Chain A
Amino acid sequence: MIVTLRDCPENTKCELIDSDIPDALKSRLMGLGWLPGKTIQVVRRAPMGDPTIFLVDSTKIFLREEESRMIKVKPLYPAPLAVAEKGVYKITGFSAGGHRFVERARNSGLFVGGIIEVISNPLKGKIIIATKNGEISIGRGFSEKVFVEPVRR
């Protein structure tokens, strides 16, 4: 699925896609080594939710929401559920390791190694998935912490 860089939560790795970025930003990014095909790692979002630090080729830079919305990327799996398109996935891990988080996840039928199906992911608001326990909808914050990779049936 093609998403914008802004859609990618912390710890996502994604591939930069060639797209229509305004020239001023594009030439600057190119000078920093941001070329289509490069892997971008989302490192940190600022306390107030913006800007975000990204890592490309061992150089860290930060960009604001406005700019990162202009940049199109393809998430590399394992990726957070938040950027997963329709399809069947295996859960590979959680980025928030707390006991309560894992327990909450387990109660919703989400555990490491478990198989789920993404039914709809509008990139804003809730994601609807199917687990063994049936269909559930999960919030964005939660979905950013669940890492998945696609399974072929």
Chain B
Amino acid sequence: MKRIKVALVGNPNVGKTALFNALTGAHQYVANWPGVTVEKKTGKFTWKDYEIDVIDLPGIYTLRARSIDERVSRDYLIKERPDVVFNVVDATNLNRNLYLTIQLSEMGLKTVLILNQMDQVKNMNIKINTSELEKRLGIRVIETVATKGVDVDEIMKAAFDASPSVKYEIYPTQFEELIKKIENLSKGVLKDKGIPMRWLAVSFSEGDELAKKILEDNNLLEEAEKILSEKGYQNASLVIARSRYNFISSTLKQVEVRPKESWTISDALDHVFTHKILGIPIFVSILWMMFQFAFSASTPLSDLIDLGFQTLANYAHAIHGWVGSLIGDGIISGVGSVLVFVPLIFFMFFAMGVLEDTGYMSRAAFLIDRLMHKFKLSGKAFIPMILGFGCNASAIMTTRTIESEKERIISILINPFISCSARLVVYAVIAGAFFGRFAGLAIFSIYMVSIAFALTMAVVFSFLLKSKESSPLTMELPRYQLPTGRGLWIYMWSRGKHFLKKAGGIILGATVTVWFLSNMPWGTNIQNSWAADIGKALAPIFAPLHFDWHITLALLFGGIAKEVTVTTLGTFAGGNFSMFLKTVLDPINAYALMLFVLIYIPCVATQAVMRMETGSYKWPILSVLWSLSSAYVIALLFETIGHLVVMI
């Protein structure tokens, strides 16, 4: 079987990931906003006798790399040299998308042009003559609607037909000659290194750093600079860009007919959603609705699951001896207490999926960018923050779109303060036990605290790191789209499944450990168990916060994964959280505990990602110490003030 490497390249938000899913049958999440794929993803499929590796690269507008995700794409194309490139373009916006296509041809890559979103083209009454486009560009062109599946045969055949490389001589003659001179100059030295000469020459004239470095490393820089300055092309980036766009528009004149721009539904929606007065109230109410929806829609399902686990636990208790206890008190009440929240988590992701897929998220970024800016962050830092509500570990990876290194570190450090879905489980148990009807409000308030605290910390960290710069922000506002059922399902599932996996793995393991510790030495009462010993040993530290040894132990284990806080308490509570929690906490302590859970230490997975993304242990260690001490101080302050107020 022969192996072939195929890379998916294109502007942000054109449907690369959707095509990736359609080709490989994978379930990668696709959003209707830029910057979702930040590192390359690989998948495989077989077609005829071929094994095909598909690489989904982050979206880029040009091959001149600025941020890490752009660099990932460019370096891959230069260094790995895929056999074929599928250049995915938004067919409703060829004018802009073909810019990258020209750059790809300069890299000498075998390219197939995938005109995606053809359904939108129809909706917008745009006519595209595909075969004419094919003729003019000299490359194969395929029409797709990747979100609805693709004809793999057609695409793969095109991949094999694709002409090895095309060359567009689109620059002014004088400049073309200079390019050729530089090409010839470097050919001798760089012949066997697989570096595309035309790309090197053009990019160097554009002022690209990598091209410059390659020339410098081979002692060609001086000569190349001399060639450019002879005819006064030291700064040719504008000439180059203009030539490319001229070529594109002269091509499109023969290929595309667009109706006159008119007021579209997207414009009408934008008029309301970005409105000066209405915009922010709408944003806040949408967030509020998201919570309300997730809570009320999930309650009946959660109750049902709860009932199921209680029944199961009763059966388990019928088994005599330690096995019954392990299964009933340990596994079923423990893991069950977390699984009860599966519907809540899934509905939460569903609601977030709707916001992202419709394209509303980038409008939200627009509305609150000013606020973010006040806190020394850019609108780009907003994306990881929002994703942090799902899972901090994966959200931290999306900080790669941020160009400034300091701002990136700050975004990474504040992300754990954004309350992830695992913590929602803990709040739900505590708020459910203490705040009854106002449980939803209590949880909403924790989320607000979460945002406020994260932003405050951003200011503190940017002061400490002396970060002044914030990267230039050019964020695109995509057209609004109706989310597809399939897209929402993938969104919900690809994120929710981590939760299920965790429940079956790390949470189950931790639960069994807790059960073991609380039953050892064997046959003892829980009060005298090893668990109690550990908890009691640590409890004095938390005594000022009025957290007893049960809570202390739960928090300790919660460091592994936040849900374990609940499973640990579940082992002690024996099925009735509300009754148990009321014996160890009062409402003020309970809210303080929620605050503590919000702020104290990032979970093990998040710490690992922090280490990976920053390349140093320094930051995760700082993060743990910092968050532990701030959680302590804030919970203590809240309790002290809270109890004072109650006394009055």
Contact = CB atoms under 8 A, between A and B. Distances in A.
Interface of A: 18, 22-33, 35-36, 43-51, 53, 57-64, 66-67
A32 B93 contact: no
B276 interface: yes
B93 A51 contact: no
B95 A46 contact: no
Contact of A62 (B64, B277, B371, B475): B475
B207 A23 contact: yes
B316 interface: no
B272 to A, nearest CB: 11
A131 B514 CA distance: 84
Contacts of B95: 33, 57
A60 B477 contact: yes
19 contacts: A18-B238, A23-B237, A27-B62, A28-B61, A28-B472, A30-B238, A35-B245, A44-B270, A45-B276, A46-B367, A47-B277, A47-B370, A49-B370, A57-B95, A59-B93, A59-B96, A59-B476, A64-B379, A67-B474
B251 interface: no
A51 to B, nearest CB: 5
Given A59-B93, A64-B473, A47 B245 contact: no
Query: Chain B at the A interface: mostly helix, strand, loop or mixed?
Result: helix
A45 B64 CA distance: 29
B234 to A, nearest CB: 13
Contact of B274 (A27, A30, A46, A67): A46
Given A28-B62, A53-B274, A47 B472 contact: no
B41 interface: no
B128 to A, nearest CB: 15
A116 to B, nearest CB: 27
Contacts of B371: 48
B474 A63 contact: yes
Interface string B204-224: 001100000000000000000
B470 to A, nearest CB: 8
Contacts of A27: 62, 64, 66, 206, 237
Nearest to B261: A58
Contacts of A26: 237
Contacts of B270: 43-44, 53, 60
A47 B237 contact: no
Interface in B432-469: none
A57 B99 CA distance: 14
B472 A67 contact: yes
A59 to B, nearest CB: 6
Contact of B366 (A25, A35, A53): A53
Interface in B78-110: 92-93, 95-96, 99-100
A24 B472 contact: yes
Interface string B38-68: 0000000000000000000000011010100
Contact of A57 (B96, B242, B280): B96
B96 A47 contact: no
A26 B476 CA distance: 16
B99 A33 contact: yes
A51 B473 contact: yes
A27 B472 CA distance: 11
B373 interface: yes
A70 to B, nearest CB: 9
Contacts of A35: 238, 241-242, 245
A46 B206 CA distance: 34
Contacts of A29: 474
Contacts of A36: 238, 242
A18 B239 CA distance: 11
A47 B369 CA distance: 10
A24 B66 contact: yes
Given A28-B61, A35-B241, A51 B379 contact: yes
B403 interface: yes
Nearest to A18: B238
Contacts of A24: 66, 403, 471-472
Contacts of A23: 207, 237
B138 interface: no
A26 B238 CA distance: 9
B559 interface: no
Contacts of B367: 46-47
B232 to A, nearest CB: 15
Contacts of B274: 44, 46, 53
Nearest to B11: A31
Interface in B460-497: 471-477
A49 B367 CA distance: 10
B370 A28 contact: no
A61 B62 contact: no
Given A35-B242, A59-B476, A62-B477, A28 B66 contact: yes
Contacts of A62: 366, 369, 379, 473-475, 477
B279 interface: yes
Contacts of A28: 61-62, 66, 472, 474
Contacts of A45: 276
Given A28-B61, A62-B379, 13 more contacts: A24-B66, A27-B206, A28-B472, A32-B61, A35-B245, A44-B274, A46-B367, A53-B366, A53-B477, A58-B261, A59-B96, A60-B270, A61-B475
Contacts of B280: 47
Contact of A61 (B241, B261, B477): B477
Nearest to B475: A62
B373 A64 contact: yes
A68 B237 CA distance: 20
A63 B373 CA distance: 12
Interface in B270-286: 270, 274-277, 279-280
Contacts of B237: 23, 26-27, 30
A32 B96 contact: yes
Interface centre among B237, B279, B473 (most CB of A within 10 A): B473
Interface string B261-300: 1000000001000111101100000000000000000000
A49 to B, nearest CB: 7
A63 B369 CA distance: 10
A57 B98 CA distance: 13
Nearest to B276: A47
A58 B94 CA distance: 11
A102 to B, nearest CB: 20
Contact of B474 (A43, A47, A61): A61
